[in-house]
Chains A and B, each alone.
Chain A
Amino acid sequence: MRLAAIVSLTVISLLVPASRAAAQLPGVSLSVTPQSLVFTNVQAHGPVAAAQQELTVRVLALGRRPWRLTVLALGNLLSAEGAQIPIQQVSWKGSPAAVFISGALVPGQPVLVGQGQGSKVGALRFILKNRWEYAEGRYSVRLLFNVTSP
């Protein structure tokens, strides 16, 4: 009876850290740098404006573990005055193309950025379509990158 009680306590103490570890490591981890990008003084003369910096994406996965990377935009580009630029106007070009694909953001919907096996490093160059319709202002939006491994 006493033995059963000891075993039960052990099971509980082992289960908690095991499930926590599954949500973080050891499967896969993600880093993106820098953590902010700027489209500076978007000129109205060209069809697009490119962010000055590329985004470096690092996916660390054990062995040849497969993974999928998605990006979710938490709304449109929004200015302090309340003006908006539709998030669909923001797209990116990924490289290397075999792993990181090109695409455009969709409001409130994760979009596939890349997929592969094992650890990979890639670059994303973000582009903003330029339009006269944009109101003057300073806009921002937050993106969430999520890597998952089955």
Chain B
Amino acid sequence: MKICRIMITALVLALLAAGAAFGASDTASLTINAAVNAKAKLTVAVSAINFPDADPDTVPLITATEGAIAITAAVRMGAGSATLTWGAATDLTSGANTIPIGNVKWNATGAGYVAGPLALTLTSATPITVGTFTSSNSFVGTFTPKLTNSWTYVPGTYLANSTLTLTTP
């Protein structure tokens, strides 16, 4: 009986010593959620473009004073594609005189923008697509507007309003 008590006491002491040497750990979990909504943001470097007067024989195509205009179309979306359109409400108008808005053309640079020299022509009928973007990102490009020059234009200061619209699916 005495031997038994001694052995058990020794055993308990040994286990306590071993327990103190054991490492301890604990774990907890956390879930992180994030809501990302559809979004579109359009930035155009200028709010007006101007074509200076020029001799039609020497300058058949007038480049806008602003040159290449920086444009940024930033979109967040799911499936589908975002589109950038440009439309003019009227022809270039000076009193009773007009210059067809279709005489305004431009080329474009940048991923997603419709590229190529004078690939696009403004129309007062329907906004035309000037960019297509198939993923979420911020797309940087340039537009360089030009006006076809002509001896037929009546002197005057002409004006037309146009609108760029960026739309996500």
Question: Which of A's residues lie within 8 Å of B, judged by CB?
Answer: 3, 6-7, 10-11, 14-15, 18-19, 21-32, 35-45, 49, 51, 55, 65, 77, 79, 81, 83, 85, 90, 126, 128, 132-150
CA distance A27 to B66 in the complex (A): 71
CA distance A97 to B30 in the complex (A): 21
Q: Could you say which of A21, A42, A133, A148 contacts B34, with CB atoms under 8 Å apart?
A: A42
Q: Give the interface size class of chain B.
A: 35 or more
CA distance A19 to B24 in the complex (A): 10
Contact of B32 with A36 in the complex, beta carbons under 8 Å: yes
Question: Which of B's residues lie within 8 Å of A, judged by CB?
Answer: 3-4, 7-8, 11-12, 15, 18-19, 22-39, 41, 74-79, 135-138
Task: Tell me the nearest residue of chain B to A44, going by C-beta.
Answer: B39
| Distance between A119 CB and nearest chain B CB, rounded to angstroms | 13
| Distance between B82 CB and nearest chain A CB, rounded to angstroms | 11
Task: Tell me the nearest residue of chain B to A138, going by C-beta.
Answer: B35
Contact of A37 with B33 in the complex, beta carbons under 8 Å: yes
Contact of A141 with B18 in the complex, beta carbons under 8 Å: no
Instruction: List, sorted by A's number, 24 A–B pairs whose CB atoms are closer than 8 Å.
Output: A7-B8, A21-B19, A22-B22, A23-B24, A27-B25, A31-B28, A32-B29, A40-B35, A42-B34, A44-B39, A44-B76, A65-B24, A85-B36, A132-B76, A134-B76, A135-B136, A138-B33, A138-B34, A138-B35, A139-B33, A143-B29, A145-B27, A145-B28, A147-B26
Q: Could you say which of B11, B24, B30, B34 contacts A128, with CB atoms under 8 Å apart?
A: B34
Contact of A39 with B37 in the complex, beta carbons under 8 Å: no
CA distance A28 to B11 in the complex (A): 25
CA distance A40 to B77 in the complex (A): 16
Contact of B30 with A142 in the complex, beta carbons under 8 Å: yes
A138 surroundings in chain B (CB, below 8 A): 33-36
A10-B8, A135-B136 known; A32+B35 contact, CB < 8 A:
no
CA distance A81 to B30 in the complex (A): 22
| Distance between B65 CB and nearest chain A CB, rounded to angstroms | 31
CA distance A40 to B37 in the complex (A): 9
| Distance between A53 CB and nearest chain B CB, rounded to angstroms | 11
Task: Tell me the nearest residue of chain B to A79, going by C-beta.
Answer: B36
